[in-house]
Amino acid sequence: MQRIQITLWTLFICAGAMAQHIDTKRIYPDSTNYSNVYVKKIADDSLQSTYIIWIKDSVKPHYHAYHTELVKILSGKGRMTLDGKTIIVHRNDVILIPKGSVHGVTNLKRRPLKVMSVQSPKFNGERIWIEPSQ
């Protein structure tokens, strides 16, 4: 009886964590009237948070003390800084940003840079901004 209960409980938990296909080409901001950055949450649970982010100008250098971020460039071109190194990122590039790594990005096109950001564990709103050195 205990095995049946454990099996049913496991199936119940797994049913709540169903896989999903995310068609990023059909996801748009709710408004184009945003000043610089627009963030749309796609999914989250205790292990991750996934967002689509549109960047008109830039995201200032910052780091995350508690989570790792994986960014996929969905469209556009940008100049990204990652721990003091500068790289040019294009559509389909994937960037792994370990926790504690200082990063930022500047859009290099007229249209917003569109990225998918997966943060693990779940994003808690923590972002530590780096002030420019004087």
Specify the pTM: 0.84
Quick one: pLDDT at residue 2? 59
| 51-99 per-position pLDDT tens digit | 999 999 999 999 999 999 999 999 999 999 999 999 999 999 999 999 9
DSSP string over 59-95:
EEEEE-SS-EEEEEEEESEEEEEETTEEEEEETT-EE
Output b/e per residue, 20-59; b: 16+ Cβ within 10 A.
Answer: eeeeeeeeeeeeeeeeeebeeeeeeeeebbbbbbbbbeeb
pLDDT at 92: 97
| pLDDT exceeds 90 at position 22 | no
Strands 77-82 and 49-55: unpaired
Exposed/middle/buried for residue 121 (C-beta within 10 Å: 0-12, 13-18, 19+): middle
pLDDT tens track for 3-14? 555 544 444 444
Q: What's the rounded Cα separation, in Å, for the pair 71 and 77?
A: 13
36 confidence band (pLDDT: 50, 70, 90):
very high
CATH number of 26-129: 2.60.120.10
Q: Structure tokens of 90?
A: 């294009």
d(CA 32, CA 127): 24
